[in-house]
Structure 1
Amino acid sequence: MTPRAILFDLDGTLIDQFQAIHRAFSLTMEKMGFPRPSFETVKKAVGGASISTMSKLIGPERADEAVNILRPIFEEEMLNGLVMLPGAKEILFELKKCGIKTAVLTNKYGPHAREVCRHLGLDDFLEFTLGANDTEWKKPNPKLTQFVLDKIKSTAEDTIYIGDSPYDYQTAQNASMDYFLTTTGTHSEEELSRLGDNINIKPNLLSILPHLIP
């Protein structure tokens, strides 16, 4: 069955922004008196909203303070090293050509997510981009997913979610949506396969495309 809509995660799925993310978190932590984290440490910590990532890196006690420091730093750094992941524009182009609606559902701060999609030209293909602070919920809360499904005028049965992390797997599971996970982001195939039996894992976006369009 051809889906009516596809929802995408952003970081590690459609884009690679980890260079800017690492630098912004490093500068924030250094400013607060913490040692700079390694690239891999930050990459493994992201996936939730910034408050969740900061809690993993420095503990919850000063996470709110850290996010307030982080946001303007990230706005200065956010386009540095930013690239689309291989196949991102191709898959969005093909889906739009087939009349399949697409949108981004991410835990990245909403205004930042939309700026990134605008900068890379991805919003030419997307119905919308919805991120953290755009609603009262965050992934993997099924209320957020239902809000997005209503907005894109689709149902869980007619929609597929594509992401790269356990957050994305849980988002799809909580909403009873079919899904694919790609290994272009924060987790390897081995790590993702530990989430359960018969996890739908693909190496990249283009390897998912034949499963979306007959």
Structure 2
Amino acid sequence: MNCKGVIFDLDGTLIDTLEDLTASMNDALVKLGCPRRNREECRRMIGNGLAKFAERALPENRKDQRDELMKTMVSHYQQHCLVQAVPYERIQHVVQTLGNKGIRIAVLTNKNQKPAEAIVNYFWNKGVFDPVVGVCDGRKVKPDPESTLDILKQWKLTASEVIFIGDSEVDIQTANAAGVACVGCEWGFRDKKQLLAAGAKNLIQKPIQILDFFD
């Protein structure tokens, strides 16, 4: 594979953010008088952006409070997004090695832009991932391929020269829509069965295996 660039998902791929996301969602739910969600429920709800996460977390008879829940959750999460967040095993070594090889690397996430940048720039020097693309006004979320194609254009690379690494069906759909090869990672928020059901053709079990594509 003549790979010159890697687009990474963030949550569940580079960083385990599940504890902080669960805590912030539950803080918001409690403030609205709604039942809390456990860690595994939140794991299944994450992936399609904050709006979907909030919609899924609310009881059926409270869906009209989605925007209020989102606003409350974001306020808490922006202050607490690095409480328990941690990089997956050896992922920092993988990123450094790719950089040393001259491979372009980016982050494309359905997380809001501000916390996405805060998390990436906390664990890596600014500019290691170029660009870091999160959700902001007017930007389409994954699985729409627009942001992936924008990254290819910025890098001046073709789809055949880039791979997309992510942990969910959303990432697989995004890569397929953009014509980019996808590598599904089993250490994230979805398991092997779910990734295969979503059409994953390349699966890896540990972050260090990413480097096998660049030998």
* TM-score of Structure 1 vs Structure 2, range by shorter chain: over 0.9
Whether the 8 Å contact between 2:24 and 2:77 is mirrored in structure 1 is yes
TM-score (norm 2): 0.93
1:15 maps onto 2:15 in alignment? yes
1:108 maps onto 2:106 in alignment? no
Closer/same/farther in 2, CA of residues 47 and 187 from structure 1, 3 Å limit: same
Whether the 8 Å contact between 2:140 and 2:146 is mirrored in structure 1 is yes
Q: How many angstroms does 1:199 deviate by? A: 2.1
1:206 paired residue number: 208
Whether the 8 Å contact between 1:89 and 1:122 is mirrored in structure 2 is no
Whether the 8 Å contact between 1:127 and 1:152 is mirrored in structure 2 is no
Between the aligned partners of 1:134 and 1:98, the Cα distance in structure 2 is 34
Between the aligned partners of 2:125 and 2:28, the Cα distance in structure 1 is 29
1:169 aligned partner, one-letter code: I
1:154 paired residue number: 157
Q: How many angstroms does 1:124 deviate by? A: 5.0
Percent of pairs with identical residues: 26
Whether the 8 Å contact between 2:7 and 2:107 is mirrored in structure 1 is yes
Between the aligned partners of 1:90 and 1:26, the Cα distance in structure 2 is 33
Alignment RMSD (CA, Å): 1.5
Q: How many angstroms does 1:138 deviate by? A: 0.7
1:82 paired residue number: 85
2:24 paired residue number: 24
3-state SS of 1:96 partner: helix
Map Cα deviations across residues 2-41 of structure 1 (whole Å, 9 max, x no partner). Answer: 3111000001100011111000000101111111111100
Q: How many angstroms does 1:180 deviate by? A: 0.3
3-state SS of 1:160 partner: strand
Map Cα deviations across residues 132-167 of structure 1 (whole Å, 9 max, x no partner). Answer: 116521111122221122123322111100000000
Closer/same/farther in 2, CA of residues 120 and 38 from structure 1, 3 Å limit: same
Whether the 8 Å contact between 1:8 and 1:103 is mirrored in structure 2 is yes
1:68 maps onto 2:77 in alignment? no
3-state SS of 2:43 partner: helix
TM-score (norm 1): 0.94
2:36 paired residue number: 36
Moved over 3 A (4+): none
Listed as ranges, the gaps of 5+ residues in structure 1 are: none
Aligned length: 212
3-state SS of 1:181 partner: strand
Range moving further from structure 2, 159-168 or 140-149: 140-149
Between the aligned partners of 1:54 and 1:163, the Cα distance in structure 2 is 21
Q: How many angstroms does 1:87 deviate by? A: 2.2
Whether the 8 Å contact between 1:9 and 1:164 is mirrored in structure 2 is yes
Map Cα deviations across residues 61-104 of structure 1 (whole Å, 9 max, x no partner). Answer: 22111111111111221111111111211111111111110000
Listed as ranges, the gaps of 5+ residues in structure 2 are: none
3-state SS of 2:164 partner: strand
Map Cα deviations across residues 177-213 of structure 1 (whole Å, 9 max, x no partner). Answer: 10101011111112211123x62111122112112x1
1:180 paired residue number: 183
